[in-house]
């Protein structure tokens, strides 16, 4: 199987990637914007494939985060590092709701050069498969609409 690598070619080591990824989420959750910004390349690219939106540049991406509404909190539930790429799942709580987000990070020279965020939404189970399924998802990934 041919699997495309990260689009940002880089040799950042897995354990450095893991440390930067952990710090990305810790500083985001703490609104420690100066420390958060220090993890990003000048030309960092943030993508939200579900809306088609892209934000380019550290200043714009910082402002997007600073302006993001709501007293949200996030908790990292999975964090994988593999070479210069990381992925994570999060529980994101805001105003009594709980969402799951999935994030991919790509590093260049030890800094985050590309962020891709996915925000799945809960939906009703399609009919015709309840002979195989039960309603029982782990707390790790529980949506609270």
Q: Where are the beta strands (DSSP E) in 11-84?
A: 40-48, 53-56, 73-82
Interaction of residue 94 with a copy of itself, rule CB under 8 A: no
Interaction of residue 89 with a copy of itself, rule CB under 8 A: yes
Q: Report the site for a copy of itself in 7-36 (rule: CB under 8 A).
A: 7, 14, 22, 25-26
Report how far residue 43's alpha carbon sits from residue 138's, in angstroms, rounded to the nearest whole number.
Answer: 37
Q: Give kind and range of the element (H or E) at residue 65.
A: helix 58-67
Among 43, 64, 97, 109, interactor with a copy of itself by CB under 8 A: 64
Report how far residue 26's alpha carbon sits from residue 38's, in angstroms, rounded to the nearest whole number.
Answer: 13
Among 16, 33, 37, 55, interactor with a copy of itself by CB under 8 A: 55
| Interaction pattern, residues 95-114, with a copy of itself; x per rule: CB under 8 A | -----x-x-x----------
Q: Report the site for a copy of itself in 113-132 (rule: CB under 8 A).
A: 116, 118-126, 129, 132
- C-alpha distances in Å from residue 92, one per residue of 2, 75, 103: 33, 7, 12
């Amino acid at each position: 199987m041919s699997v495309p690598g990260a689009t940002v070619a880089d040799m950042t080591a897995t354990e450095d990637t893991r440390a930067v990824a952990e710090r990305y989420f810790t500083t985001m959750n703490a609104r420690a914007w100066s420390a958060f910004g220090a993890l990003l390349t000048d030309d960092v690219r943030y993508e939200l494939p579900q809306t088609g939106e892209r934000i380019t540049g550290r200043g714009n991406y910082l402002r997007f985060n600073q302006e993001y509404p709501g007293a949200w909190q996030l908790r990292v539930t999975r964090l994988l590092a593999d070479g210069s790429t990381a992925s994570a799942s999060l529980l994101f709580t805001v105003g009594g709701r709980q969402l799951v987000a999935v994030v991919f990070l790509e590093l260049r020279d030890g800094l985050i050069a590309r962020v891709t965020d996915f925000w799945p939404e809960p939906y009703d189970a399609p009919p015709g498969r309840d002979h195989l399924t039960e309603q029982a998802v782990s707390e790790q990934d529980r949506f609270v609409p």
